[in-house]
A and B are shown apart, each in its own frame.
Chain A
């Protein structure tokens, strides 16, 4: 009995010993890019077994907070950090754009085909609780051929501090002055109506399970869960389907990428652009004292900008434009 106890203790200790892992990094943040980040880190570990990067999807706000408290090695956010937030971090963080994504309007209406078409003011009114039913005239106006049910709309929004929410509310603020004055654009707002769910995963789950519900998620979540998402009217007046082409077109509208890569591409002018698109960033400290960690991160970033970008389209994101990739590669050298 005693020997058995000792052996199992030793076994347990052995299992918890870092088995040939030279570098173990922890990152946390946005759920918007979580599917591709976790895919990347898994692939990267398969190629470099000595480097293990653990990424936890806790929301962009969480990523910024944990980075500020120095409890993680890097953060991730779809909302660029404000100047105050950057100043609050002891070691100045650098924004590294990784991919482009689309925030889509996903809904749960069985038997409604083809897709719903919505414009900015209608979306704003729905999320403000002013449009209460699916067969409201404002929704029927853009969808004359659809038989919309006479049911209450169940609005689902984020309960956590989210970069996706920032992109979403940023868009709504641009297309609806009423939204801008009453709710505003931020990673967490005072929602006029609806259920709160945690993470992109949470909204996707809630919309999937609640008939007659509507929510906003990154494209990949709607695609992976076979959920319907709407075509949204862009600034040029066209109803655009979110996807690789329309998101790339949105990114192309950025004429001058700022040096720190903090830019918003919501509601851009382009004719083919999807209006609710966004970059997403990894927040890396500009000074990493542990040489092994620094090497691990810089090597990963280089891999991400070359090999990693190839995964983007397949996973319903869009890769960074080529000129941006070149600039980002130069920023890697700024990590001291």
Chain B
């Protein structure tokens, strides 16, 4: 090899090493960001969390102590109602898309679901406000739940459809060959076959909405006491974290950290569990782009 060529090769190798190292640096930076975030939250939250958070009600501004018990229960209520509304709608719509839909209408519905999925959560909040808060003349847990259900529906629908479509053809044909009609085949064979994936999609969806703040800001508002009904303003964990984090009191900040850790733990544990279940069953799983 001539000297010019080996010099060029050295340069190419150098560039190769530099660029590959740069990509490694990128990976390192991004991954370490995640660990730093989690670590920081665990540290600050862990040193602040105590049982009061889950047992006491919030106190007046400036008074130390108090907790977020009403927000924990309020969040559970709102998410529960949102799931009651959103999960069935998404589930059956997903079945329609996978099993029954015609080509054109299916494309339309899928497009609408994607559109709905992409609506910013604050805009969902506005719509829920116009639909429920304005006519009812009150802030309520119900309006918050409806807002969250609007976000849950497309996630559930697309997830259900995706996992139903993954059920192998021979299972479908086998059911039909045994004499079952369409709905029987779907209900007894296809859906049960896809149930792990569908449940995972539902769990991930519920975990996602339980962390949402923006849709609740002007639907469920907030409450310093226990909520006295679904048609009353209700405290929720994300809104409380927001209000405590943006306030001046150190005690409020402590509570925000602790509640943030609790919420994060809930969301992450749910996510990890759901994904592990899914990967065990061999399915490809829900992707971020879908």
Please say whether the chains A and B touch (CB closer than 8 A): yes
Listed in ascending order, the chain A residues whose CB lies under 8 Å from chain B are 12, 15-19, 21, 24, 26, 28, 34-36, 38-39, 41-42, 45, 52, 54-57, 69-72, 197-199, 201-202, 204-205, 208, 220-221, 224-225
A208: B residues at CB distance < 8 A = 248
Give chain A nearest CB distance to B265 CB in angstroms.
Answer: 20
Q: Is B230 an interface residue when CB atoms closer than 8 A count as contact?
A: yes
Give chain B nearest CB distance to A328 CB in angstroms.
Answer: 23
Q: Write the chain B residue with the least CB distance to A16.
A: B77
8 A-B residue contacts at CB 8 Å?
A15-B77, A35-B60, A35-B61, A38-B60, A54-B232, A55-B224, A204-B248, A220-B62
Q: Check A38–B137 contact: CB distance below 8 A.
A: no
Q: Check B61–A16 contact: CB distance below 8 A.
A: no
Q: Check A12–B137 contact: CB distance below 8 A.
A: no
A220: B residues at CB distance < 8 A = 62
A202: B residues at CB distance < 8 A = 246-247
Give chain A nearest CB distance to B142 CB in angstroms.
Answer: 11
Q: Check B223–A54 contact: CB distance below 8 A.
A: yes
Across the interface, A26 reaches (CB within 8 A) one of B59, B233, B243, B247, namely B233
Known: A71-B134, A205-B246. 7 other contacts (CB 8 A): A12-B76, A19-B228, A42-B59, A45-B225, A57-B61, A72-B138, A204-B247
Q: Check B246–A54 contact: CB distance below 8 A.
A: no
A16: B residues at CB distance < 8 A = 73, 77, 141, 227, 229-230
A36: B residues at CB distance < 8 A = 60
Q: Is B236 an interface residue when CB atoms closer than 8 A count as contact?
A: no
Q: Check B139–A18 contact: CB distance below 8 A.
A: no
Q: Is B249 an interface residue when CB atoms closer than 8 A count as contact?
A: yes
Give chain A nearest CB distance to B290 CB in angstroms.
Answer: 29
A204: B residues at CB distance < 8 A = 247-248
Q: Check A69–B137 contact: CB distance below 8 A.
A: yes
Q: Check B225–A201 contact: CB distance below 8 A.
A: no
Q: Is B148 an interface residue when CB atoms closer than 8 A count as contact?
A: no
Across the interface, A54 reaches (CB within 8 A) one of B137, B224, B249, namely B224
B96: A residues at CB distance < 8 A = none
A54: B residues at CB distance < 8 A = 223-225, 232-233
A221: B residues at CB distance < 8 A = 61-62, 248
Query: Which residues B39-61 have CB closer than 8 A to chain A?
Result: 59-61
Which of A12, A26, A220 has the most chain B CB atoms inside 10 A of its CB?
A: A26
Q: Check B230–A26 contact: CB distance below 8 A.
A: no
Q: Check B139–A52 contact: CB distance below 8 A.
A: no
Q: Check B73–A201 contact: CB distance below 8 A.
A: no
Q: Check B61–A12 contact: CB distance below 8 A.
A: no
Which of B137, B228, B248 has the most chain A CB atoms inside 10 A of its CB?
A: B248
A-B CB proximity, top 4 nearest: A204-B248, A224-B62, A205-B248, A38-B60
Q: Check A71–B138 contact: CB distance below 8 A.
A: yes
Query: Which residues B226-248 have CB closer than 8 A to chain A?
Result: 226-230, 232-233, 243, 246-248
Q: Check A42–B224 contact: CB distance below 8 A.
A: yes
In Å, the complex CA distance between A202 and B225 comes to 22
A72: B residues at CB distance < 8 A = 138-139
In Å, the complex CA distance between A115 and B248 comes to 21
A41: B residues at CB distance < 8 A = 224
Q: Check B60–A69 contact: CB distance below 8 A.
A: no
* A-contact bits for B207-230, CB 8 A (1 contact / 0 none): 000000000000001111111111
Are A71 and B133 also in contact (CB < 8 A) when A26-B139, A52-B228 are? yes
Q: Check A35–B62 contact: CB distance below 8 A.
A: yes
